[in-house]
Structure 1
């Protein structure tokens, strides 16, 4: 995709945990919540996973803004590890009215193509549904993301409810 091509943004949702079409955990992959909040870690994860997909908007934020974002009670972060290395991560943001957004989700570059994305998304969806009184889980992705991202969201049971072009 060239810089001149319009970007399509896809908004996906899941309205019931029964919609999850899970994928089993690959051998050697462990997912843990980062229970001690540390904004510098979130910034590192954002850069590690997002660099290849042009996630740059948050990198210019000062430390105070990162800290306000990442260390809130409404944000939780999980990290996938394979043999001690960070394989990927996701952040869940609890919103008013019972919505939980998958705020960020992705794999580290060295772990793309190993079949970890399906399980990590299954884990994210299960975690979102187990957090409080969740009514809906949603995410957005776009055509700048990994070519398999939209298919992964759909394969796990999420449905597109809106598209936009920029």
Structure 2
């Protein structure tokens, strides 16, 4: 438990406040027009290079998503190919532009492990469209909780979006990790809202 007051973040690290949220009963879908020329497709056996590319386009450049970039092929493949993990891609024609990852590996729980759209679709209703499908799919199984977490490395719109979708904040944590811009996992100009201390 952290004591009150300021705590130094070591050079080469990033610190973030993580907010955990949950939904304990299926939320009603939010009204959204069906996007034109866009589908949400299940990806049963994702190619790892394809997945990493989409992961970075959704969250790497602007928001410093890096956890999956730290995994080797075997670690990442074990998650994405687990029978209890469902991966969906928002497709605009033959171009992937959004990511929904549902993880049912914990009993009675579905975790929305990753969720987001590429910058060109922010504000277009694609997120609400994807969330309506994610909620319906999560609660199609006999779960008691649907969970998600967001952090201060994400878009500031993420937390209000999850709350509007029916999730309720239940706890916060502070996470400290190696800065992915200094380890070579992301370009140095990624996540410009977070300063680099090297």
Measured against the shorter chain, the TM-score band is 0.7 to 0.9
SS across alignment from 1:11: strand
Whole-angstrom distance in 2 between the partners of 1:84 and 1:67: 23
Q: Superposition RMSD on alpha carbons, in Å? A: 2.0
Whole-angstrom distance in 2 between the partners of 1:150 and 1:95: 24
Whole-angstrom distance in 2 between the partners of 1:59 and 1:36: 18
Matched residue, 1:13 = 22
Quick one: structure 1 residues 107 and 47, their matched pair in 2 at CA, closer, same or farther if it must change by over 3 Å? Answer: same
Quick one: structure 1 residues 76 and 108, their matched pair in 2 at CA, closer, same or farther if it must change by over 3 Å? Answer: same
Structure 2 gaps, min length 5: 1-8, 176-198
Matched residue, 1:108 = 118
Whole-angstrom distance in 1 between the partners of 2:30 and 2:118: 21
Q: Pick from 123, 130, 134 the counterpart of residue 120 of structure 1.
A: 130
Matched residue, 1:96 = 106
Matched residue, 1:165 = 174
1:64-84: per-residue Cα shift (whole Å, max 9, x none)?
112112111111101112243
Select the structure that is richer in helix: 1
SS across alignment from 2:65: coil
Asked whether the 8 Å contact 1:100–1:128 carries over to 2, the reply is: yes
Matched residue, 1:75 = 85
Normalising by structure 1, what TM-score?
Answer: 0.86
Asked whether the 8 Å contact 1:39–1:71 carries over to 2, the reply is: no
Structure 1 gaps, min length 5: none
Normalising by structure 2, what TM-score?
Answer: 0.73
Larger radius of gyration: 2
Give the 4+ runs in structure 1 shifted more than 4 A. none
Matched residue, 2:139 = 129
